[in-house]
Amino acid sequence: MVSDLLRPGVHRAQELLDDRAVVCAILAVEDAWVAAQHREGLVSAEEAAAAHAAVDRVGTDPHHLRELVTASEGGGNPVIPVLGAYRRAVEQVLGRPLPAVHASLTSQDVMDTALAHLLSSVRRRVVGDLTRAGDALAELVRRHRGTPMVARTLTQHALPTTFGLKAAGWLAAVDDAADEVSARVRLPLSCGGAAGTLAATVALVSGTAPGAQSSAQGAAHDQPLDPTQRLLHHWAGQLGLEVPDAPWHTTRTPVVRAAGALAEVAAALSRLANDVLLLSRPEIGELREPTAPGRGASSAMPQKQNPVLSVLLKRTALLAPGLASGVLAGAGAAVDERPDGGWHAEWPALGELAELTAAASSHAAELAEGLTVDAPRMARNLADAGTGVLAEPLAVALAPMLGERGADTARQLVRDAVRAEPHDVGALTERLAEAVAASDGAVAPPGVDARSTGALAAWLRPLTDPRAHLGAAPQLCDRAVARHDERRNR
């Protein structure tokens, strides 16, 4: 694992997927399996209680974790050493070995199910923080639905828009990402046994497998598949997971979907971060990140306040595609009935992606909740953008007045006028009025003399107010907020 010093901010989510979390997830899965067998009458209450009490006997302090990390090399996965420690703990509590521990399971059943258990916590954390971010963004959209600013396309000034509409774009992406995580970061239970046939589990419930030899009296079943499925549902219920239609040892669709949803979160939050990074530049100054003691400081320049939350969000977005591709590569390498390395490659990639995404969701919530919007600066920047931001709406307004080729003529007239008067709106209006008055066959709106420069200028003047060209921006803001509110109330 890369040093956490090289992954600033990841401490916000580290407890979700660190070594202790993995060990605890494996233990929870093994404990739940014994509990499920008890519900099916295969294990006594005493044995189930002993198995549960033994969980706390397995060491998860740094010393024991290091031992487990080292021992995991022997079998290529952490389940085997954790299982060994758990079996010893059960024997200490019960006074004898308990064959029901891990009975009929394989290490991949436990590891995949433990991963599902871990990702359930990640899902809840990410969705919770994205919901916080969405609530804060929705409030920005409401407040600034009519706050004018200059829109920028391909790095250049374009048209008037509103800050509310920009924030509505962030909101839509965050809401969509939250929905994707909620739907797709849901790995089901994994149970197929050694080769994906559930043969040992079928034998277990019929009382012929070693794990069924306990002090509990198991019932005989004429239809062994029915109690097998019932046992799996008991297990899944203990862990809050779903039972899949079939084993997925080498059908890695659940893992691929989870990685895709997490990567989508990173991309959605990067859109927010990129805009904040741009608009918080001193020469633009339209937005400011929230401050906190020690945040954004420079080691050399005491005056600086760096937008660190956005920097970390962008960092995560740059890493996410590579991590997601690592999961895809591992999934695509699956072969036979059990993978020979592809499965193992998924863990670090998916774990890193989940950890970074969970931290990023927390960063985004804090950013959205504390973002400062400088509306007067937005208005000044819009004014300073000059007459060019009015070019398209003026050309659209003039086109009907200029005959069959009115659209082309209007664009040319406006282009020439903007180039001649890039900053003075009044001079632009006079120049356009003169050009229209000099045009052959110009047809003015009712009540306006097409040959009168003064009349044409008076008609054009209201069209030079940027607020007259916001289009449906306020209504689009309202729709984005309504969609968010509907999602929150689902």
In this prediction, residues 477-484 reach a mean pLDDT of 97
Provide the 10 A C-beta neighbour count for residue 447.
7
| Least reliable range by pLDDT among 77-81, 198-202, 257-261, 478-482 | 198-202
pLDDT exceeds 60 at position 213: no
What secondary structure, in 3-state letters, does the chain show? CCCHHHCCCHHHCHHHCCHHHHHHHHHHHHHHHHHHHHHCCCCCHHHHHHHHHHHHHCCCCHHHHHHHHHHHHHHCCCHHHHHHHHHHHHHHHHCCCCCCCCCCCCHHHHHHHHHHHHHHHHHHHHHHHHHHHHHHHHHHHHHCCCCEEEEEECCEEEEEEEHHHHHHHHHHHHHHHHHHHHHHCCCCCCCCCCCCCCHHHHHHHCCCCHHHCCCCCCCCCCCCHHHHHHHHHHHHHHHCCCCCCCCCCCCCHHHHHHHHHHHHHHHHHHHHHHHHHHHCCCCCCCEECCCCCCCCCCCCCCCCCCCHHHHHHHHHHHHHHHHHHHHHHHHHCCCCCCCCCHHHHHHHHHHHHHHHHHHHHHHHHHHHHHCEECHHHHHHHHHHCCHHHHHHHHHHHHHHHCCCCHHHHHHHHHHHHHHHCCCCHHHHHHHHHHHHHCCCCCCCCCCCCCCCHHHHHHHHHHHHCHHHHCCCHHHHHHHHHHHHHHHHCC
| Least reliable range by pLDDT among 126-130, 143-147, 425-429 | 425-429
pLDDT exceeds 50 at position 218: no
pLDDT of residue 217: 44
| pLDDT tens digits, one per residue of 28-61 | 999 999 999 999 999 999 999 999 999 999 999 9
Task: Quote the mean pLDDT of the chain.
Answer: 92
| pLDDT tens digits, one per residue of 282-327 | 999 999 999 877 666 656 665 667 899 999 999 999 999 999 999 9
pLDDT of residue 2: 72
pLDDT of residue 300: 63
pLDDT exceeds 80 at position 104: yes
pLDDT exceeds 60 at position 239: yes
- Residues marked active site are found at 298, 338
Per cent of the chain over pLDDT 90 is 79
pLDDT exceeds 60 at position 102: yes
Q: Are 261 and 176 in contact (CB under 8 A)?
A: no
pLDDT of residue 219: 44
pLDDT of residue 403: 78
| pLDDT tens digits, one per residue of 171-207 | 999 999 999 999 999 999 999 999 999 999 999 998 7
pLDDT of residue 490: 83
pLDDT of residue 295: 67
pLDDT of residue 220: 44
